[in-house]
Amino acid sequence: MKILFAAAAIAAVSGAASAQEFYIGAGVDLQTPHSGDQSVASTIMGGAQFGNGPVTFGPELEMNLTNGGDYNALRLRGIARHDTGAVALMASVGYTNYDVDGSGAVDGLNYGLGIDYELSQSVDLRAELIRDHAPDDDMLVTNVRFGAVYGF
């Protein structure tokens, strides 16, 4: 029984490892805080996708920097994708760390929805709506992102 369990675990791990794709990307975010000034941020991101078939999931790490804006963010999110053929629908949830106007860091949560359009075998275009919420500081920021990712 132990051998059967070990063999099943190895098969599951090797199957998941073979069904992974890594990606890097860039985007432009329009940040609209519920208090403060609207700003535009440049975003770099990287992540991995796991799973076979139309549903995939994985982690993504991203950093966005504003040019003189109030909110520079670092996000770690989990993203689930459902490929419908023409586009993939995306949903995400994760952790946000904001550098608020140089006055210190604020931690919070983020969640979002988006679409992913496959331009070629390795290039996807994205449109997302991401909401950041820091409950301790009563901060709410809505981000509209347009970007591209390259899978390898």
pLDDT digits 0-9 by tens, 7-31: 444 444 444 444 579 999 999 999 8
Per-residue pLDDT band at 135 (split at 50, 70, 90): confident
Per-residue pLDDT band at 38 (split at 50, 70, 90): confident
- Who wins on pLDDT, 65 or 114? 114
pLDDT value at residue 8:
42
Q: Which residues have CB under 8 Å from 117's CB, separation 6+?
A: 86, 87, 88, 124, 125, 126
What does pTM read for this prediction?
A: 0.81
CATH T-level fold of 20-151: Porin (2.40.160)
Q: How many CB atoms lie within 10 A of CB 23?
A: 18
Domain assignments of the chain as residue spans, ordered by start:
20-151
Give the pair of three-digit tokens for residue 6.
């070990």
Q: What is the pLDDT of residues 54-106, one digit of tens each?
A: 999 999 999 988 877 667 889 999 999 999 988 999 999 999 998 876 667 88
pLDDT value at residue 144:
97
pLDDT value at residue 18:
46
Rounded Cα gap, residues 56 and 83, in angstroms: 8
pLDDT value at residue 10:
44
Radius of gyration of the chain from its Cα atoms, rounded to whole angstroms: 18
